[in-house]
């Protein structure tokens, strides 16, 4: 195993799958224990931002679905940040629809952002592994 593999995160507002590619010629390996699905948050008036020194509430004009999406993608970002801190990641590939991709990019740490090698704007979270692998290879990942 090489010390700095490429991690591929395929996500949308309700699900995330994590993959690793150890070498360019090897197939993707899904890290199933990191897979996430969003739990709907009902009755929450606000979501707190736990990044940085202060906390602020997400604007009250967001819908419950948007708040749940923010909470979910922050959790996914936390998993990415932990892997970066633990030096498990050499480079990152983020694959998500436009809104989720932007939020995920915003929520990960600056150190994780520096490792982004490729961003793919596509909702592929429900695709089979072989299809995701082919998509990554088409992007030279």
Q: Which pLDDT does position 77 carry in this prediction?
A: 97
Closest CA to 17 of 140, 127, 130, 139: 127
What pLDDT does residue 62 have?
78
In whole angstroms, what is the distance from residue 88 CA to residue 44 CA? 34
Rounded percentage of the chain residues whose pLDDT exceeds 90: 64
Q: Decide: 102 and 127 in contact? Cβ < 8 Å.
A: no
Note the pLDDT of residue 37.
86
CB atoms within 10 A of CB 21: 22
Please determine, for residue 127, whether its predicted confidence score (pLDDT) is greater than 80: yes
- pLDDT score recorded for residue 112: 97
Rg (CA), the chain: 15
pLDDT band (50, 70, 90) for residue 45: very low
Domains of the chain from N-terminus onward: 6-36+64-138 (3.30.420.60)
24, two tokens:
């360019």
């Amino acid at each position: 195993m090489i010390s700095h593999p490429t991690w591929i995160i395929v996500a949308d507002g309700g699900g995330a799958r994590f993959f690793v590619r150890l070498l360019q010629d090897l197939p993707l390996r899904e890290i199933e224990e990191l897979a996430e699905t969003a739990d709907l948050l009902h009755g929450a008036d606000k979501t707190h931002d736990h990044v940085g020194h202060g906390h602020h509430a997400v604007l009250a004009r967001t819908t419950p679905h948007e708040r749940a999406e923010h909470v979910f993608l922050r959790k996914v970002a936390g998993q990415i940040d932990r892997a970066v801190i633990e030096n498990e990641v050499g480079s990152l590939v983020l694959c998500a629809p436009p809104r989720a991709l932007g939020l995920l990019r915003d929520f990960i740490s600056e150190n994780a952002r520096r490792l982004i090698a490729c961003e793919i704007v596509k909702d592929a979270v429900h695709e089979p592994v072989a299809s995701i692998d082919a998509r990554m290879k088409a992007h030279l990942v």
